């Protein structure tokens, strides 16, 4: 057979093989395959910074995709029947499409997220930024990704301060015997027990009624929550600014959903989360910085006594919780904690 007669046959065979390969290849994601609506889980709604960040994310995504991706917020952790600590599991399994989740609430499944709850690790916002925006934040995102959720950006619930209805708290002894509402995390329980308090774990939905009736004496939360929820009206007349831990938020998408989006839409979702997170952080810090204490002044104007710790007083709390810090540093991973300590020292 001559070369000229062989060539058409070779071309035909190659064409047939290409046709088979194309036919068998999985089709690329198309907007027509998208859900009519994506469910987004949050715990706290607007007007809290948490809800504002989530709402802004949904708005930006809808705008930047020309409506191809529509997101509906479900606050109050209603997609998991109010069980905040089950949110990450539902997200990983695809029962929830997306979430703006708390590092506290996700820590039962991702133990490394307890880093932000180590008592008195982060003294200020610069320290918090050094973690979320540096190598520690990048490593935490890798761990979350390995567990079936695509992390896109950071937002913020804020530094958690302590309040109560009995008296000012300036030393660990002031907490002795005090009944304190804490979130459902063993680390919080250990921290307040070390300080001599009697911690009671309960959801936020149960916290205000308990404070109103006096079933508990106090609680710990960011001051934005204290102010918007009008905690002074349920007897919380003493606040101590101790910055004992912070609660960053993470924009996440279930991998079962993430993989259905085109690369272009994935990038839109990611950048929208980053932009929405920046807005949420700005709102969470408003009135709480050295050059603007307007929110603190507003709380004081409501008849609340605000105690600011001296360095020596803060150190007393650090010393009282040192054993808790060391125990949990080992659970979280000593290498990660050391990296966090170095990032903060070099901020």
From CA 125, how far away is CA 132, in angstroms rounded? Answer: 11
Q: Is 102 helix (H, G, I), strand (E, B) or coil?
A: strand
pLDDT digits (tens, 9 = 90+) for 160-204: 999 999 999 999 999 999 999 999 899 999 999 999 999 999 887
**From edge to edge, which strands make up the β-sheet containing 218-221?**
198-201, 179-182, 218-221, 161-164, 238-241, 305-308
pLDDT digits (tens, 9 = 90+) for 292-339: 999 999 999 999 999 999 999 999 999 999 999 999 999 999 999 999
From CA 281, how far away is CA 197, in angstroms rounded? Answer: 31
From CA 226, how far away is CA 160, in angstroms rounded? Answer: 10
From CA 338, how far away is CA 324, in angstroms rounded? Answer: 16
Count of other CB atoms within 10 angstroms of residue 25 = 8
Q: Is 139 helix (H, G, I), strand (E, B) or coil?
A: helix
Instruction: State the average pLDDT for the chain.
Output: 92
* Domain range annotation of the chain: 35-157+248-285, 161-245+289-345
Max alpha carbon distance in the chain (Å)? Answer: 102
Nearest to 214, CA basis, from 164, 258, 170: 164
Task: For 161-245+289-345, give the CATH class.
Answer: alpha beta
- In angstroms, what CA-CA distances link 268 with 60, 63, 94, 253, 271? 9, 10, 21, 13, 5
Place of tokens 């000229």: 4
pLDDT over 70 percentage in the chain: 91
CATH topology of domain 35-157+248-285: D-Maltodextrin-Binding Protein; domain 2 (3.40.190)
Residues 152 and 274 sit within 8 Å (Cβ to Cβ): yes
pLDDT lower than 50: segments of the chain: 1-8, 10-28
pLDDT over 90 percentage in the chain: 88
- In angstroms, what CA-CA distances link 324 with 31, 192, 223? 49, 10, 25
Count of other CB atoms within 10 angstroms of residue 229 = 17
Q: Do domains 35-157+248-285 and 161-245+289-345 have the same CATH topology?
A: yes
Nearest to 57, CA basis, from 209, 239, 275, 211: 275
Q: Is 154 helix (H, G, I), strand (E, B) or coil?
A: strand
């Amino acid at each position: 057979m001559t070369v000229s007669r062989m060539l058409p046959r070779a071309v035909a065979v190659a064409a047939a093989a290409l046709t088979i390969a194309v036919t068998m290849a999985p089709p690329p994601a198309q907007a027509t395959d998208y859900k009519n609506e994506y469910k987004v889980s949050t715990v706290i709604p607007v007007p809290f910074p948490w809800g504002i960040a989530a709402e802004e994310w949904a708005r930006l995504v809808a705008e930047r995709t020309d409506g191809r991706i529509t997101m509906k917020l479900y606050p109050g952790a209603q997609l998991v029947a109010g069980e905040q600590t089950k949110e990450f599991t539902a997200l990983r399994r695809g029962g929830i499409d997306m979430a703006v989740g708390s590092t506290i609430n996700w820590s039962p499944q991702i133990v490394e997220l307890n880093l932000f709850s180590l008592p008195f690790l982060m003294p200020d916002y610069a320290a918090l930024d050094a973690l979320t925006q540096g190598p520690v934040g990048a490593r935490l995102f890798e761990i979350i990704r390995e567990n079936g959720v695509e992390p896109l950006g950071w937002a913020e619930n804020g530094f958690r301060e302590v309040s109560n209805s009995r008296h000012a708290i300036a030393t660990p002894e002031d907490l002795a015997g005090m009944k304190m509402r804490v979130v459902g995390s063993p680390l919080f329980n250990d921290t307040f027990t070390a300080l001599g308090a009697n911690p009671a774990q309960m959801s936020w939905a149960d916290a205000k009624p308990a404070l109103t009736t006096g079933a508990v004496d106090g609680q710990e939360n960011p001051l934005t929550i204290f102010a918007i929820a009008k905690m002074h009206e349920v007897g919380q007349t003493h606040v101590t600014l101790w910055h004992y831990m912070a609660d960053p938020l993470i924009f996440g998408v279930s991998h079962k959903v993430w993989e259905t989006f085109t690369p272009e839409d994935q990038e839109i979702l990611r950048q929208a989360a980053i932009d929405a997170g920046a807005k949420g952080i700005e709102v969470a810090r408003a009135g709480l910085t050295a050059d603007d204490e307007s929110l603190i002044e507003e709380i004081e104007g409501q008849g609340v006594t605000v105690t600011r710790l001296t360095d020596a007083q803060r150190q007393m709390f650090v010393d009282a919780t040192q054993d808790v810090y060391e125990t949990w540093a080992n659970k979280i991973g000593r290498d990660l904690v050391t990296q966090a300590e170095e990032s903060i020292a070099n901020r």
